[in-house]
Chains A and B, each alone.
Chain A
């Protein structure tokens, strides 16, 4: 239906819904008003309301106060300044996924809480790697959720990538081991390993995930070469705990944020960048294979603030 629209138009359309709420709010606060404490407090809350998180909101507001306190400021100025500050925080983390680092196969492990969009993200990544002329193999490591294996198999068929799978309930670590062996044998370029969704506060499930990493390392000590944590844009401040725990347990190397085409803004990514500095490799802005896009901090920041590009 909206397949003709560019991804950015869609990202912006999605973002503009709530960002228009922000911008209206900012407009309302600043129309003919000096930048005072009360205004700053309201501004801070507005940033919080976009899921930026209290700490980052405080930092951004303090920054604004330093340069503009007591001055008459227009809503436009404030938004631009905020967008610049947000972009500045995001700039260092906007790094695309690089699978041309001479590994064969380049092993990518995909982790996250339930329902964040891991399998779909793998399908989209596989499509992109295939379009780049790479051979791709998928490992159906979510042996827990009903029909997760079938879901990945359908993606494999769509993009022309072999899928290594075992019966539901099989040991995920053993499956990952077998998949890596198969990928090495067949000279595959990129191996994408799916995992079951798990809440980060479930110690036994996290231990199981750590085991997957250990077992992969037995064949190739440098693998997995990338460990992606998939975050749903609707997530609130709990994303901090997710990143913290997954990073500690399986050394997450990068983030992918999904479902940015909805009403959720994923503003928490700003706080995450501030605190963890993990690269944001891609954002998902739709359900089709082409809707996984590089993360552009400037556009993201300006869209978040409801500004024209």
Chain B
């Protein structure tokens, strides 16, 4: 149900048809779409406003790079700012203190604290060779302590023996004592899920904090969280004090706007993300990935940058003029094929786009790879200049010659000609949109034409189309 921001902004700027610097009106129009996109991605409203103000100020007056549309230019600015706001610096779990180092895990019910605790315990033990002890202070939910014990067994991380009837502060102190006596480096304290407005339970976790003085207090939060992310993160920050955030269920399909909200409200880094049910499914946080996801697109910015590098502007202009006149011959197709190769081939291009897995599979099934591009290039190169300019003149005997010359078959030649005919038809339509439509429409249709079973729909929605 979500439309990628890329195509939305594309629509706006297609209407504006402006070149040169971004005017305030352009930027305002774009910012309305950016705002909706962020809200759809569950970024909290106050954070959206703050973000938009910042981006607007930076975008106005920016020069638009030729061959890149203003829409893409704005996306790049938005994306860069998003990455910046999400925190570009990597931030690991801090275990530098006098051992045993206490780490406190807090969060709402069902956010994934216990599983995350076991994942972090396993990670610290395996990757940093720390001796880790885990203890559950959850005396609320039935069998919560048992859950951590079982997970500890699975992860090979020791847990504090359960003493029925003990209260959270007692358990925490017992864990620290056990940690000291048995030479543990880290003591992970998993707490009960609690509402940030539940005074009694918030006081309880504050008492635990005061008893053990944790080096890290991590808020575990669900990537599916909506607008509430702000209230929850702020309350936990104010009542308990936080040093970092762990975002769970990033393997779901939520857009993850909560990451931006919580980062903005608490100023705390997002340290880790949970990406699956298995105990090794925990990873460092990469702001670019979440930024692309919030905007509903893959790494479009890299794509824009690549396009900027390889597309010769003069050539693009020339082709644009031809296309507006409805001319698109095999020479133009050749040029597009070569541009595609320069951008890293289909594989390279696909790697930059969202929903790659599915398309790659489709391409594999249809046996489409970069060799096809090479082969098509060879076919065109085996044609005479007249043939390239007037494909209609290519009849049976010429086809046989071309096939022979390029080491392909007549069917391959036919396929290429048919594809070209379809593209030329599309190009005529693209031409009506003006020069800007060229690159996007050209590549999009080219890929669509090659898409086999994927057909013209083979491109993910985030990919800007003419």
Residues of A near any B CB (own CB < 8 A): 1, 14, 17-18, 45-46, 48-51, 54-55, 113-117, 120, 144-148, 150-151, 153-155, 168, 199-202, 232-241, 259, 261-265, 267-268, 287
Contacts A144-B277, A236-B258, A237-B255: A113 and B40 contacting too (C-beta < 8 A)?
no
Judging by beta carbons under 8 Å apart, are B147 and A238 in contact? no
* B134-151 interface code vs A (CB 8 A; 1 in, 0 out): 000000111110111111
Rounded to whole angstroms, the CA-CA distance of A69 and B9 in the bound complex is 29
**Residue in A154, A236, A265 whose beta carbon sits within 8 Å of that of B257 in the complex:** A236
- Determine if B188 is an interface residue (Cβ-Cβ < 8 Å): no
Judging by beta carbons under 8 Å apart, are B143 and A114 in contact? no
Judging by beta carbons under 8 Å apart, are B146 and A147 in contact? yes
State how many angstroms separate the Cβ of B205 from the closest Cβ of chain A: 15
Judging by beta carbons under 8 Å apart, are B196 and A234 in contact? no
User: Nearest CB to that of B142 among chain A residues?
Assistant: A154
Inter-chain contacts of B144 with A (CB < 8 A) = 147, 151
Inter-chain contacts of B258 with A (CB < 8 A) = 236
Judging by beta carbons under 8 Å apart, are B44 and A49 in contact? yes
Judging by beta carbons under 8 Å apart, are B45 and A48 in contact? yes
Chain A to chain B contacts (Cβ below 8 Å), 24 pairs: A17-B231, A51-B226, A54-B39, A54-B40, A113-B224, A146-B147, A147-B144, A148-B147, A151-B141, A155-B142, A199-B249, A199-B252, A200-B252, A234-B224, A234-B232, A235-B222, A261-B195, A262-B108, A262-B197, A262-B232, A263-B196, A263-B232, A263-B235, A264-B228
State how many angstroms separate the Cβ of A141 from the closest Cβ of chain B: 16
- Determine if B376 is an interface residue (Cβ-Cβ < 8 Å): no
Judging by beta carbons under 8 Å apart, are A236 and B195 in contact? no
Residues of B near any A CB (own CB < 8 A): 1, 35-36, 39-42, 44-45, 108-112, 114, 140-144, 146-151, 154, 195-197, 200, 222, 224-229, 231-232, 235, 249, 251-255, 257-258, 277
State how many angstroms separate the Cβ of B147 from the closest Cβ of chain A: 4
Judging by beta carbons under 8 Å apart, are A262 and B228 in contact? yes
Contacts A151-B143, A199-B249: A238 and B224 contacting too (C-beta < 8 A)?
yes
- Chain A interface mostly helix, strand, loop or mixed? loop
Judging by beta carbons under 8 Å apart, are B226 and A236 in contact? yes
The CB with the most chain B CB atoms within 10 A, among A120, A239, A287, is that of: A287
State how many angstroms separate the Cβ of B8 from the closest Cβ of chain A: 12
Rounded to whole angstroms, the CA-CA distance of A150 and B144 in the bound complex is 9
User: Nearest CB to that of A112 among chain B residues?
Assistant: B110
Judging by beta carbons under 8 Å apart, are A263 and B110 in contact? no
Judging by beta carbons under 8 Å apart, are A237 and B109 in contact? no
Sort A-B residue pairs by CB-CB distance and give the 8 closest, nearest first: A236-B226, A115-B110, A236-B42, A146-B150, A147-B147, A264-B228, A154-B142, A150-B143
Contacts A18-B228, A113-B249, A261-B195: A238 and B146 contacting too (C-beta < 8 A)?
no
State how many angstroms separate the Cβ of A17 from the closest Cβ of chain B: 7
Rounded to whole angstroms, the CA-CA distance of A232 and B150 in the bound complex is 25
**Residue in B45, B151, B222 whose beta carbon sits within 8 Å of that of A45 in the complex:** B45
Inter-chain contacts of A115 with B (CB < 8 A) = 109-112, 222
Judging by beta carbons under 8 Å apart, are A51 and B143 in contact? no
**Residue in B41, B141, B148, B228 whose beta carbon sits within 8 Å of that of A51 in the complex:** B228
User: Nearest CB to that of B226 among chain A residues?
Assistant: A236
Inter-chain contacts of A267 with B (CB < 8 A) = 226-227
Rounded to whole angstroms, the CA-CA distance of A263 and B265 in the bound complex is 15
Inter-chain contacts of A268 with B (CB < 8 A) = 226
Inter-chain contacts of A238 with B (CB < 8 A) = 42, 224, 252-255
Known: A146-B150, A147-B147, A153-B143. 17 other contacts (CB 8 A): A17-B197, A48-B39, A51-B227, A54-B36, A113-B224, A151-B147, A168-B150, A199-B253, A234-B226, A234-B229, A236-B224, A237-B41, A237-B254, A238-B254, A262-B197, A263-B197, A264-B228
Inter-chain contacts of B114 with A (CB < 8 A) = 146
User: Nearest CB to that of B45 among chain A residues?
Assistant: A49
State how many angstroms separate the Cβ of A83 from the closest Cβ of chain B: 19
Rounded to whole angstroms, the CA-CA distance of A54 and B38 in the bound complex is 11
Rounded to whole angstroms, the CA-CA distance of A3 and B141 in the bound complex is 17
State how many angstroms separate the Cβ of B352 from the closest Cβ of chain A: 22
State how many angstroms separate the Cβ of B31 from the closest Cβ of chain A: 12
User: Nearest CB to that of A49 among chain B residues?
Assistant: B45
Inter-chain contacts of A147 with B (CB < 8 A) = 143-144, 146-147, 149-150
Judging by beta carbons under 8 Å apart, are B108 and A259 in contact? yes
Inter-chain contacts of B235 with A (CB < 8 A) = 263
Inter-chain contacts of B1 with A (CB < 8 A) = 55, 240
